[in-house]
Amino acid sequence: MKLVPAVLCPLALLLVAVAAVLDVRAAPEAPADGSPGAFSVARARADLEMISAEPHPTGSAANDRVADSLVRRLDELGLDASVRERTAASSPPGSSHAVGWARNVVATLPGERPTGRILLVAHYDSVPTGPGAADNGMNVAALLEIARVLADGAPPRNDVTFLFTDSEEFRLLGAEAFLGEPEAEPERTVVLNLDARGVRGRSVMFETGGHSAGLVPALADRAPVTTSLAADVYALLPNATDFTAFLGAGFTGLNFAVIEEGAWYHTERDVPAHVDDATMRDVGEVVLAATGNLAAADLAELRDEGEAAYFTVFGRLVVHGSALVLPFALLAAAVAAAAVLWARPAVPLRELGRACLGVPLVVLAAAAAAWAGWQVVPALAPWLRGFPLGDPYGAEGARIGLAVAALAAGGVAGAWLRRRVPGIAVALAAALWMCALAVAAAVWLPGGGYLFTWPGLAAAVGAAAAARAPADSAWRPLALGLGGLPSALLLPPLAWLLAAALGLAAAAVPAALVALGVLACLPEAPRRPAAEPGRAVRATRAALPVGAALIAVAALLWVNRAPTADTPAQAGLMYALDAEEGGAYWVAEGGAPDPWIDLHTAGPAPELEHRFPDLYSETGVRAGPAPELAVPRPELRVLGERPGPEGGRLVRVRVSSVHGRALQLALYAGTGGGARLVEASAGGQRLTGGVNRPFTATEWDWGLLLSAPPTDGVEVELAVRGSEPLPLMLVAQSAGLPEAGLREPRPPHLMWGGPSSGLSYASRGFEV
């Protein structure tokens, strides 16, 4: 075997893989703003500063101010904007009902010869604890700038409607409310939704609706990072965006997000300073180009299109019909079978079988190294457990470190395997596994079929060609290298995206993908040597993956060695006031330990879930005494009662808050006693009774969450059966803590973050 090709071919593949990862890793640096008809980052950033000046959750005065500012900006652009106030409901299985009052902002740029409507969507509400610069001010600002560009240009063929939804952060109620508007026409509308959980990186188009073969080509002029596998993976996750509500109502479209650097997600540090200019430009230019193409298309013809498989390579969009996914996979499998027959003189079936059994072991070794490397980190730095997405600061370096550890472990395991069977057998076995996975993916995850089809086909051809080349020929490593080119182009960037999307806790998945691709193209190693290696050599081989993993862990821990003002830990502290029996508590739901949190929540919670059904955590609730302070408190007033059907009674009550406006009112009923709640209505929405909180260990097994309730309260009608009184618990939730009652001021190394951080609750029991 010639040494130069054996070294240069893997090196060339490594460079290709690194270049492919860099292409999806970060948006190119944003140049200075150019022509008036181009997307301007400077203008978008000015809007971002306005939108994300302070936290603005649904129902807050700050959120009303943002909505009014959006109307003014759209009016300045010549668009007739309005605030649409509507009520919407959400009742997912096994969860409390939700009814909310949403204020959506809508404006339309009319088309000249419309065949349909392009609906550009971004939610403008934030979580209660943070100003929401990335999630989702960046995208709201991008849509305002896109509106300016389109309004200054020639009129589009199709209508273009800008929808800024409220209450996305709570049950997608703003999107649900819009579904009752006249513009909500599923058969004539294409939805482009923008969201974010990161502050940096490329725009990722990760989900489509139906007829994707007609939609995805609209991305070709300015392609985002995209893969049809993402939609299949996302469908398996419990996540949701506004696009979820539109899909459920029969709409189609494209869903975009920014996912890199999620440590600031849903925290008080999600501020404009952390949002990258290059990312803003990438988002704006991608969505502007797609909007332009779709706004000029005949949308009626789009409904005749089928589904597509697609991916990007170095900014180029590759698209083909999904009907070809399985035939392509079967073609790859047939080529792999032919490669086995072609290579049989050099690769006996017995050795190929041993290699096929060994390949999964090597892949598992790589995956185990990546998994184990991450498990060590939160054990040594417990404060990192508080990050909801699992990615701490410096996650990119951690991904690289865990990848090195995985490749080192896979390399040691692969060297062990290739000293027992020929390297060509290992490469051919890896190709067979890829082709088998291609067929399986074509059936169960068709969007990801390409990921194994083309690498598997090329690897099979390369291995077959190498098998017929002389053992010392330069053609053998060259054939393997060329066969590994699709693996280098497709697998590493996809692994990087998966690591960003799933978090470091799931690093084993991308590690396994890359390890399989590497096995298919590495040059052949000498077979079992005449003399067994000494103890020192064996120890060095065994220590290689361990050492790489330790270096990766050490690098990550160095970046995250302790929370600081620049890299703060997430604090999950709440205030809970029992407005009926007296008593108040500082409460923490699970989360990472911290001395300041422990100072306020030193002991176990005194069965707080019975008084505050909202406070529930699988990892436990801790609490400590707090002074009784002024926070919005719940109020319930019986308005009347009349006979109901089947001998029951209909009770009308008004629920509200006093001493301030609550962001949410939560009404809970105990349905296990003599009285039973069979139905309810609120805000014009009819709601079923019975049990909708089966997970609770308390008596409160039915719940209704009222989001952004009017200042004068909400009238609720309860249909009750049984002569005994129906017990109710009403809880008022408000943003912020009464920090004057804290034992010590919050230290600078902590920031509010997480689903229930920085909130105040007040509860009171009633009977009707």
**What pLDDT sits at residue 546?**
64
Q: Report if residue 317 sits inside a domain.
A: no
Confidence of residue 430 (pLDDT cuts 50, 70, 90): very high
- Report the largest interatomic distance among the alpha carbons of the chain, rounded to a whole angstrom: 95
Q: Which of 274, 306, 338 is the last residue of a domain?
A: 306
Q: Are residues 542 and 571 part of one domain?
A: no
Among the ranges given (115-124, 417-426, 477-486, 702-711), the one the predictor scored with the smallest mean pLDDT: 417-426
Q: Are residues 140 and 95 part of one domain?
A: yes
The single-letter code of the amino acid at 254 is L
Q: Say yes or no to pLDDT of 112 above 90.
A: yes
Q: Give percent of the chain with pLDDT exceeding 90.
A: 66
Q: Are residues 567 and 546 part of one domain?
A: no
Pairing verdict, β 584-589 and 574-578: antiparallel
Q: What is the pLDDT of residues 217-275, one digit of tens each?
A: 999 999 999 999 999 888 888 889 999 999 999 999 999 999 998 889 999 999 999 99
CB neighbours (10 Å) of residue 721? 18
Pairing verdict, β 316-321 and 225-226: unpaired
Query: Can you give the residue range of the structural domain that contains 379?
Result: 324-559
Alpha carbon 295 to chain centroid, angstroms:
28
> CA 147 to CA 149: how far, in whole Å?
6
Alpha carbon 277 to chain centroid, angstroms:
21
Q: Using CA of residue 535, residue 547, residue 356, residue 15, what is the dihedral sign?
A: negative
DSSP states along 708-758: S--TT-EEEEEEEESSSPPEEEEEEEEES--GGG-SSPPPTTEEEBSTTTT
Q: Are residues 195 and 111 part of one domain?
A: yes
Q: Using CA of residue 219, residue 222, residue 228, residue 233, what is the dihedral sign?
A: negative
> CA 203 to CA 285: how far, in whole Å?
10
Question: For residue 216, what is the DSSP state?
Answer: G
CATH number at residue 268: 3.40.630.10
Q: What is the pLDDT of residues 633-677, one digit of tens each?
A: 999 999 999 998 888 999 999 999 999 999 999 999 987 678 899
**What pLDDT sits at residue 311?**
97
Q: Are residues 710 and 683 part of one domain?
A: yes
> CA 172 to CA 53: how far, in whole Å?
23
Q: Are residues 451 and 369 part of one domain?
A: yes
Q: Which of 520, 540, 559 is the last residue of a domain?
A: 559
Q: Say yes or no to pLDDT of 285 above 60.
A: yes
> CA 112 to CA 176: how far, in whole Å?
29
Q: Crossing angle of helices 485-502/475-483, nearest 10°?
A: 40
Pairing verdict, β 759-767 and 574-578: parallel
Confidence of residue 418 (pLDDT cuts 50, 70, 90): confident
Q: Say yes or no to pLDDT of 1 above 50.
A: no
Q: Report if residue 166 sits inside a domain.
A: yes
Among the ranges given (31-35, 122-126, 532-536), the one the predictor scored with the smallest mean pLDDT: 532-536
Confidence of residue 528 (pLDDT cuts 50, 70, 90): very low
Q: Give percent of the chain with pLDDT exceeding 70.
A: 93
684 φ, ψ (degrees, to nearest 5): 80, 10
Q: What is the pLDDT of residues 584-594, one digit of tens each?
A: 999 988 666 78
pTM of the model: 0.94
CA atoms within 13 A on the CB side of 349: 2
Reading the block at residue 548, the tokens are 């790489």
- As a residue count, the chain comes to 768
Q: Are residues 296 and 336 part of one domain?
A: no
Averaging pLDDT over each range in 35-44, 189-198, 506-515, 755-764, which range is the top one? 189-198
> CA 591 to CA 620: how far, in whole Å?
9
Q: Are residues 576 and 491 part of one domain?
A: no
Q: Are residues 245 and 162 part of one domain?
A: yes
C-alpha pair distances (Å), 518 with each of 268, 466, 488, 727:
42, 16, 8, 63
- Which helix H or strand E contains 702, and what residues bound it? strand 702-707
CA atoms within 13 A on the CB side of 569: 24
Q: Report if residue 23 sits inside a domain.
A: no
Q: Are residues 537 and 421 part of one domain?
A: yes
Q: Report if residue 16 sits inside a domain.
A: no
Q: Are residues 445 and 400 part of one domain?
A: yes
Whole-number average pLDDT of the chain: 90
**What pLDDT sits at residue 530?**
45
Q: Which residue has the tokens 């069977």?
A: 421
Q: Say yes or no to pLDDT of 740 above 70.
A: yes
Is 714:665 a contact under the CB 8 Å cutoff?
yes
DSSP states along 585-645: EEEEES----HHHHHH--EE--SHHHH-TT---TT-EEEEEE------EEEEEEEEEEE-G
Q: What is the pLDDT of residues 746-759, one digit of tens each?
A: 999 999 887 778 89
Average pLDDT of the segment spanning 451-455: 97
Confidence of residue 695 (pLDDT cuts 50, 70, 90): confident
Among the ranges given (19-28, 30-39, 497-506), the one the predictor scored with the smallest mean pLDDT: 30-39
Q: Which of 273, 306, 339 is the last residue of a domain?
A: 306
Spell out a b/e string for 160-170, using b for 16 or more CB atoms within 10 Å of the CB, else e: bbbbbbbbbbb
Q: Report if residue 39 sits inside a domain.
A: no
Reading the block at residue 643, the tokens are 């006979």
> CA 382 to CA 569: how far, in whole Å?
10
Confidence of residue 545 (pLDDT cuts 50, 70, 90): low
Q: Say yes or no to pLDDT of 525 above 60.
A: no
Q: Report if residue 44 sits inside a domain.
A: no
C-alpha pair distances (Å), 48 with each of 52, 180, 276, 291, 597:
6, 29, 12, 21, 33
When divided into structural domains, the chain yields a total of 3
Confidence of residue 547 (pLDDT cuts 50, 70, 90): low
> CA 410 to CA 151: how far, in whole Å?
55
Q: Report if residue 34 sits inside a domain.
A: no
Q: Are residues 377 and 276 part of one domain?
A: no
Q: What is the pLDDT of residues 302-354, one digit of tens each?
A: 888 999 999 999 999 999 999 999 999 999 999 999 999 999 888 999 999 99
Is 185:250 a contact under the CB 8 Å cutoff?
no
Q: Report if residue 103 sits inside a domain.
A: yes
Question: For residue 200, what is the DSSP state?
Answer: B
Among the ranges given (250-254, 397-401, 628-632, 742-746), the one the predictor scored with the smallest mean pLDDT: 397-401
CB burial class (10 A; 0-12, 13-18, 19+) of residue 643? exposed
